[in-house]
Amino acid sequence: MTPTLAGLPLTAVVPPLAAINWHSFFFLLFASIACGFAVAVVTATNVVRMALYLVLSLAATAGLFLLAGAEFVGAMQLMIYVGGTLVLLVFGVMLTAQAPFVSIATSGGDRVLAGVVGAALLGALLMAGLSVPAWRAPASGKLAEPAATPLGMALVGVRVDEPAANAPEKAVRPGYLLPFEIISIHLLVVLVGAAYLARAKRRKTPRAIDVAASVEPPASVAEHAAIGRGPAGAGSVLAGGPALTGGPR
């Protein structure tokens, strides 16, 4: 009597342990986590849950990168994406998560339309991806060289990795020094711009959110402002307040 699962002998459902390709097994594990939580990001309505699902999806993608032999990219994915970008996103969620905005529902018609368009797009992408026989050939299993050192050297303009098998002798193999410089300047400009955009501003007119809150101003804030600025208007008192903008200048 062999054990059965769903009416089939167990060996037909789960292959024997020795036949399992563990690379494929872990690929399947990480791929299902990555895809499942990517779809969960779309279907979730609560923005805090969406952020959590995105963390899991991106972390599983780092696992896929490691399985493909790109250990440096996988580590960068974990450090920059999961560690940096998502902390930023979660901060954004926390700063803007007032009760009415935590879950903003989409109308049913939009959901159906998005589902149809998404299915069409997915079908087109899958057809394109599966139509090339060379991409469907099983992996050769050729062990990849560690890529961190060649990548780091290539970023400063020196290629130390093996050239492709059929590359012409003495072909010029440019590094990535110029893209590296461009992206460095780009990152600097972007971060300065982001800091400029997100700075605390003095405003001339009170925000709508402050007007709503100004029905009952706390006594200590009003007192502090009265000492610091004299007869300041209610709007400027509540727009950030002296404590947030670094006091009256």
Partner 1 sequence: MIGSLAIPPLFGLLITEPVSVAHYLVVGAIMFTAGVACMATKRNALGVLMGIELVLNGANVNFVAFASPYLAGEGARSLGLDGQAIAVFVIVLAAAEAAVALAITLNFYNNHATVDVDRADDLKG
Show contacts with partner 1 in window 210-239 (CB under 8 A). Answer: 212
Based on the shown chain and the rule CB under 8 A, indicate whether residue 177 belongs to the binding site for partner 1. no
CB of 181 to partner 1, least distance (A): 12
Stretch (H or E) spanning 9: strand 8-9
- Cα distance between residue 247 and residue 249, in whole Å: 6
Query: Is there binding between residue 244 and partner 1 (CB under 8 A)?
Result: no
> Does residue 4 interact with partner 1 by CB under 8 A?
no
Rg value, the chain, Cα: 28
Cα distance between residue 56 and residue 36, in whole Å: 10
Is 156 a binder of partner 1 (CB under 8 A)?
no
CB of 234 to partner 1, least distance (A): 17
Q: Distance between CA 221 and CA 26 in Å, rounded?
A: 57
Closest CB to partner 1 among residues 107, 220: 107
Q: Which is closer to partner 1, CB of 195 or CB of 219?
A: 195
State how far the Cα of 162 lies from the Cα of 141, in Å rounded to an integer.
17
Q: Does 52 interact with partner 1 (rule: CB under 8 A)?
A: no
**What does each C-alpha distance from 39 to 58, 118, 124, 141, 219 come to in angstroms?**
12, 11, 18, 30, 49
- Which range binds partner 1 by CB under 8 A, 122-130, 217-225, 227-235, 241-249? 122-130
- Stretch of 94-102, 216-224, 225-233, 241-249 lying at the interface with partner 1 (CB under 8 A): 94-102
